[in-house]
Structures are given as structure tokens and as C-alpha cells.
Structure 1
Amino acid sequence: MRKHYLIEVAQNDQLVVFCPPSFLKDKEITRIAFGSRSIEVDFIPHPDKDDRVSISRKIQKALHFPNFNTPLHVFFNNHSLIIGPLVGIFTAGFTSLPLEPIGERTLFFSKLLSVNKMVGALPFVFGEQHIDWDQGIIEGYIFQNNTWETLEVPFPNVIYDRLPNRRSENNPKLIKVRDRLQKEYLIPWYNPGFFNKLDIHERLIQDDIVASFLPETLPFTSFSSIETMLSTHGHVFIKPKNGSLGLGVHQIIYDKHTDDYFCRYQDESGVNRLRRFSSLERLMGIVFANQSLEKMLVQKGINLLRSESRPIDFRVHTNKDDLGNWHVSAIAAKIAGPGSVTTHKRSGGDVKTLEEIFSGDERTLYKERLSHAALLLSSSLDRNVEGIIGEIGFDLGIDRNGDVWLFEANSKPGRTIFAHPELKDFDLLTRKLSIAFAVFLTEQSLLHPEELFT
């Protein structure tokens, strides 16, 4: 386990750093750095303390180092001692409310930042309007002692992308900020971009290791392609390529005995509907009358495991740790609401632990299969998707034969499953790992920058 060091501010103005004697063994250190700021100083061994680094008020001011009681990591590179990591969490949607600076997402960010001492990092939240390009500083939001405050910090060692939606992601002003910080300042930027369902499918289907987890999925081209899939599988799902939260998902079922077509979906008022039609053309013409079918994909239906006659799927979170290794960090079952086409809570779905719906060997088997699939899929996405990925939320299903299927991969997974009281520890673990990954990226950017920026 990596060691954290307390960074204390001494009441003097000397350009001297007192540090553990081991720091100076076989090393020639002449500078201290925090984020993008560094200063030339003298280093002196601490006479009796090997768990802390002491800097003066003058050094603190030059580095824009917050005087918080937060243990941090230390890194060595090019005669410099780097304290950190300083982790910038980039988002949008700020308000002028001091108690809710990021609106309804303020609680999430306060919980995310609260892992700082456990991880040994200093995270802060910022938006494009908080950057002073001329001075090379950011007026960031810090959460300390259960309160929000702003303070000036240098440009960070790494940036964690927490933009809230595709609209903000595609904002030209925010794209320019991301490109500039990555290309001009060489700051690693992780979890950029929302996944496109069809794009992810087309990338993963080329990987023989994970292709078996992928249900047949096609862009909408014609009614005949839907008819073909219905005749083979009995039911299909039509989904938006860039959808989320289960919005816009329709299930089409063909009854070969009556030659009827059924469509299950949630209407604009939030009511779960099941309608019968005499033909597929009539169904599509009425249900999809105001929708752009070229933005849809068609996916074969899977006969899922059920609980109390309701379909079950699973949310599986994976995260990279401070060594860059993937871990399964949470698994929860999601049970569809009565008459619902999805398992989302907004459609009446319920979140359960595996212990609540399975027992004994069956629970062990399903947990192993879900974990195995999620780790293989995480590694495959890592290889086949541009950018640095540190966390993924998978929606997986298990059919009645026990086979695992991937329905969706989310680069910015929702966290509604963690409202379940038995999943609190997993909530904490996912937050810890999402910031701990910044430790690994900071080290990589110092030792092997060519692997991150090529």
C-alpha cells in the first residue's frame, strides 16, 4: 500500500523543505511542485519525523497550496519532489447558491470530495468560467469540514471529467477547454465522453474475447429487418443510440399464434403502456410517429431471469485503482416495475442486492459470471475506445440458460443503486477508486508520459 505524507505549513518564510531522510537518499532534489506550480528550494532531513513534509508559508503561497490537514502522496521526477495529486473535477451547471454551488448534484460532489484523506489526494471541482489562463490558476470549489469554499489552486495534475450530459459535452466552449488543457498543458483527462450504444457495440463485436456477451444489435434500416429479428427471437428492443436512463426504450413482441404485434413502452406522461396492433407497419406508424428512426437501434430480446415474474438485469460497476488495475466495485440487481419495459427506478423498478434474490451456490455462480464478464468488457473497452477510462457502469442480463449479456456500457454511470442501504459500502468504494485512479495517472504522466499522450 502506498504511503501518504502529511504536508504541514511551518510558521517561517524560508525557502526550505523539511522531509523524511529517505527522500534524500540517492536523490538530488532541488524543487518542490504542487499541480502546475513549482519552486526551487533547499531540502533538509526532518530530525525526528518520517511521516510528514514541512513547507514554509512562503513556499505555500508560491505553490498556492491549501493549508488543509490532508495527507498526500509524493512523487519524484527530474530533481523535483511533487506533492499531490491535485485532482481537478471538471463539470458544468454551477449556481450562485453557496450551499448548493453545483445545484442538485452538490450532494454527489460533496461525497466524492470527502474521500480525500482516505485516498491521499486533493480533489476540487471547477468549470470553464473558473480558469484564469493568464495566471495559470483555477478558483476551485473545495469541500472541507462539511462546508463549501472556493480557493485558488494551480492547474491540476489530472482532470476527472464529470460533465453532466451530452449537451454540455458537445458545447464548443467546453471542448476548447478540454483540448487546451490536454494538448497545451499535457494534463491527463479521464472518463471523457458519453458512450454511443451502437459505436460501443461495433467496437466490442470485433473482439473475440467479449463478442459472445453482445446481443444482436443493428441500426434501424427497415421494417423488414425488425420482422426478421422478431421471427427469430420473438421480441426486440428499439432504443435511442444516445439514450440514457431508459428513456425512449420500446419492446416489440410478436405473437405468432394470433399474428398480433405488441409494443411495451413508457409514454410522455410516465405511464407504462402495452398496446396491440394488427401489423408492424401500423405499430411503427402510430408509436413512432414523432420520432426519428434513423437515431434508433434494434436489439434482439433476451429471456431474462425473473423475480416474482418480473425481469431482472444487473448494474455492475468497475473501477481502476491507484495501480491502474480493474476491479468490480459494485453489483446490484434491478427488477423491472410492473408492466415496465426497463428496470429503471423512474419506471417503477426496484434495486435489490444479490443476497435478496438468490441463495447459496446460485448466488455465487451468478456473481462470478457477472464479475468475469464485467472485467473482460472493461479491459476490451480500455483497448478499443479512445481516451483514458477509469470507471464504467455496465447493464448486464442473465438469460434462463445462465449466459451473460451486455445491454449497455456507461462511461458516467448513474448512482441510484446506492440508495439501497446494503450498498453504502460499495458507494464509498466506487468513490474512493474513482479518485485513487488519479494517483496512478499522476505517476504515469511523470514517468511514462508517452503512454498517455500518444
Structure 2
Amino acid sequence: MRYQLQVKSYPNQKHRIIVPYAIYHQHKSIRKIQNGPYLSTCEWLSHNKDTSIIYISSSLLQQLQLTVEQTYTISLSNYLCSIVYQLGIFIANMGQIDRYSDSFQTLVETGHTFGFDTILFHYKDLDFHHHTVTGYTYTNNTWSKISSPIPPVVYNRLPNRKIEAHPSVQQQKEHLKTYSIIFNPDFFNKWNVFRLCMQSSTSRYLLPHTIFQPSQNTVLEWIERTPCYIKPIHGSKGKDIYYLEKIDHHYAITYTQIGEQVTNKYSTFEELFTNHFDEGLQGYVIQEAIPLLANDQKKIDIRVHTNKDEHNNWHTSIIYIHQEDQVSILTHASYSADVYHLDDYFSAKEAESIQNKLNAIVLSLSNHLEQHYKGQLGELAFDFGIDNEKKLWLFEINAKPGWFVFEGSTLFYKEYKEICQYLYRYAFYLAK
């Protein structure tokens, strides 16, 4: 059952809660109290004063990080008293829930353990006139449609830039910002992120040589000298990335089309450029192609996620190796990938060394990016390459980490649970 109660404090070193007698009489078994990530045992007592007030001892109040003279929604069940919070998850449509059903189920269920009600919704579900939202939640092993007040904290999981850039989505999202704190509100501009990384001594040496909006002559100079990539600054999941190289006096371009790798060869560079970049390279960068470490000619890269906690501090939440299950000359594409732990590829000593380096880099960069970002960041994902000399290269930083590695797999279930916990721990920080 749930109650709206105002919290008041009284000086006492014991962990005690004193509730109205009518509530105490119905819930005598309460022995613990939870406020987000904070959990404590308690003595459960009753009073006959104001029926809308709950008294919490000063020592327990401090441990739970609760604020006095504030009204909370309190849930009582079995032995546990929980402070109730809300998290909204901004999605594209119900199809996104179907695609990542296991991941969203785990996320919502993890929220329950922190006292959170979670609602998944898209832009058409918002009713600002009545300050409500109609969306979906997962209870009793099924997805159910519910209505609720607009959540004060929202986690943006819009899956791609096209949907996020839709005028109606943008309009509703901007309106939503007046009601809620949205974390990870936008996809990154990759060139802006690259420039920020160039400003940091932590990451400057990790970056491949890159030029923004190269001219046709610049591209020709590069391809005559070395293989290179053409990448969009607003791209994601490996889309619209082109690999250019010169092979036996021919100019070759390789890209992914409908999940398949396609290579076209041209006798002149002008023909290649006209066929693929007839409008120029505005919004693109040219980047040197790093010869990455490979296994059976299948290139690997390393993904690292960072997440924030209830104290607004960054942590490394997962590190894994990503390898295409087919021979490819493109980097970090999202199609048909296999995933592994570091020690599946490297010796224990090498894996520990790489992990320590990655930890130091991503935590420093997470703090660096946050300082220059207008908005709340609760998680980040980093794409690293590693060459034959075991040197690390930083290719990309994402504000919307992919979930394909977690969906329908138990390999990283423990790590994904931890990521879910971090998301609610950070949502708790924002709610406070």
C-alpha cells in the first residue's frame, strides 16, 4: 500500500520510524526502510498524532539522505518501507520495447529494487495540458499500459538521430524539459567531441589524424598516400562510413548497405567522388585508417561504458571486445557482431594492463566531456581500436550506448544489471 506522508525528524541515535497508528496496525512487520540506494534496518513504532506525518530519528534520517518537512510517497509491503520515485524512459515506439524486451524488463525490475516506478513512453504519449503521460511498464511478467504524472526525471533512449531530429519529437522534448530533468538528451556531434578530446592531454595522443569537411583535393591526397575513412559527424552504429583506398591503379570505396559490405572500384578518383559525394563532404570528416588487431582477419575493437552514481561520480561499468563475425574493413559496425571478455583475447597480464589504461582514460574523459556539455550526462560509451603493437586508439564517444550486447545473452548479464543500477542511482541523484 502507498501513503503520502510528511517527514519530520526527532533527535535520537537509534534507527527508529514512528508512523500513525492506523498505518502501524496494518503493517506491523516492517523492519527495513529504503531511500533509493540507501537501505537500513529500523524499529517500527506508532504515534497517535497527525495522521499525515512520519517521524524518523535524526541518525536514520542522515543515513537515508532524507529531507525533513517534505512530503514523500511511501510504499509499504511485507517487511520493507520504500520511498517511491519515478523514472520516465523516452523511446521511439512500442517496437523499440519489442526489440529490446529483455533489456527493458531487466531495467524496470532493477528500478523496483530501488523504489522506482518506471514508465516507457514516446512523444505522442505526453499530455502537457493535464501534466500526464500514458506509457508502458513491466509488472507481473507482462507489459501493461498505464497513465501517470509526467516523471520528474527522464532517461532518453531514442534509438537514432533520424527519430530524434523529427520536428514533433524535438518540440515535445523541448516542452518536456520544462517539467523534467532529461539525462543524455541528445546524440553527440562527433566533430565537437573530437575537438574536446584534442584539448585533453589524456586523449590527444589516442586520436587518429582527422580533418573536418575535407575538400575533394584533400581526399585525393590522402587516398594516394594511405587508406582512410570518410565518416559523418552525426552518424551512429556504423552507418554512412566509407573506407577509401587505392588498389592497382584503381580507386576503391567500401561501405555497408542493408547489412552487407559493398565495394566499388573506379578508374579515376573523380568518378568515385562524383558517384558517392556529389554534394561534397559537408558534415563529414576524413580520418586515417588504423591497422587494427584482428583474429582470423576479423577486426576487433573494444567498447567501454561509463555510468554515474548517486553522488554524481563516474564509474567504468563494462569493458568488452567486439568482433565482426565476417571479414570487414569497416570499423565498429553494428551488424552481426560477436562479443568477448578481454581475457578471451589477451593474457591475464595484458588484459589487466589494458583494463587499467582504459579505466584511467574513460573516467578522465567522462569528466572532461561533462564539463563542456550543456545538459545532464548519466552514461557514455567509448569505442577503442587496438593495433598490432597493442597501442590504443580512440575512435568514438557515444551518448546513447548500444544494448545489442545485452539482449538475449547471459554473457554480460551481471554487468548489465550493474549498468541498470547505476541508471537508477543517478536518477535518484537528479530526483533529489
Query: Which residue type is aligned with residue 272 of structure 2?
Result: L
Query: Which residue type is aligned with residue 434 of structure 1?
Result: L
Q: Is the 8 A contact 2:299 2:327 kept in 1?
A: no
TM-score (norm 1): 0.75
* CA deviations over 1:257-286 (Å, ceiling 9, x no partner): x555433323x3543234444443333234
Q: Which residue of 2 aligns with 1:376?
A: 364
Matches within 5 A, 1:300-449: 300-336=288-324, 337-346=326-335, 348-419=336-407, 420-443=409-432
Q: CA deviation at 1:164?
A: 2.5
Distance 1:360 1:207, change over 3 A: closer
Q: Which residue of 1 aligns with 2:113?
A: 118
Q: Is the 8 A contact 1:74 1:81 kept in 2?
A: no
Q: CA deviation at 1:396?
A: 0.9
Q: Which residue of 2 aligns with 1:244?
A: 236
TM-score (norm 2): 0.78
Q: Is the 8 A contact 1:315 1:395 kept in 2?
A: yes
* CA deviations over 1:145-182 (Å, ceiling 9, x no partner): 11222333333231111222223322333333333333
Distance 1:110 1:291, change over 3 A: farther
Q: Which residue of 2 aligns with 1:80?
A: 70
Q: CA deviation at 1:409?
A: 1.3
What RMSD in Å do the two structures reach over aligned CA positions? Answer: 3.2
Query: Which residue type is aligned with residue 365 of structure 1?
Result: S
Query: Which residue type is aligned with residue 85 of structure 1?
Result: Y
Pick from 170, 174, 181: which aligns with 1:175?
A: 170
Matches within 5 A, 1:207-286: 207-230=200-223, 234-254=226-246, 259-266=249-256, 268-286=257-275
Distance 1:172 1:398, change over 3 A: same
* CA deviations over 1:218-247 (Å, ceiling 9, x no partner): 223313222444466x22111122222212
Q: Is the 8 A contact 1:396 1:404 kept in 2?
A: yes
Q: CA deviation at 1:406?
A: 1.6
Please state which structure has a larger fraction of its residues in strand: 2
Matches within 5 A, 1:73-222: 76-77=66-67, 79-82=69-72, 83-94=83-94, 102-183=97-178, 185=179, 187-222=180-215
- Give percent identity, aligned residues only: 27
Distance 1:189 1:345, change over 3 A: closer
Q: Is the 8 A contact 2:307 2:317 kept in 1?
A: yes
Structure 2 CA distance for aligned equivalents of residues 247 and 330 of structure 1: 24
Q: Which residue of 2 aligns with 1:25?
A: 10
Query: Which residue type is aligned with residue 332 of structure 1?
Result: Y
Q: Which residue of 2 aligns with 1:97?
A: none
* CA deviations over 1:350-398 (Å, ceiling 9, x no partner): 3222122112211112222222222222112111222101011111112
Distance 1:118 1:231, change over 3 A: farther
**Aligned length, in residue pairs:** 384
Structure 2 CA distance for aligned equivalents of residues 16 and 296 of structure 1: 55
Q: CA deviation at 1:143?
A: 1.1
Q: Is the 8 A contact 2:90 2:120 kept in 1?
A: yes
Structure 1 CA distance for aligned equivalents of residues 68 and 150 of structure 2: 19
* CA deviations over 1:392-451 (Å, ceiling 9, x no partner): 1111112233332221111111112225542221222222212221011112xxxxxxxx
Distance 1:88 1:332, change over 3 A: same
Which region of structure 1 is more displaced relative to structure 2, 192-201 or 204-213?
204-213
Distance 1:269 1:80, change over 3 A: closer
3-state SS, counterpart of residue 402 of structure 1: coil
3-state SS, counterpart of residue 332 of structure 1: strand
Q: CA deviation at 1:317?
A: 1.1
3-state SS, counterpart of residue 412 of structure 1: coil
Gaps of 5+ in 2: 13-18, 35-43, 45-51, 53-62, 73-82
Q: Which residue of 2 aligns with 1:446?
A: none
Q: Which residue of 1 aligns with 2:32?
A: 51
Q: Is the 8 A contact 1:191 1:390 kept in 2?
A: yes
Q: Is the 8 A contact 1:138 1:154 kept in 2?
A: yes
Distance 1:118 1:269, change over 3 A: closer
Q: Is the 8 A contact 1:218 1:299 kept in 2?
A: yes
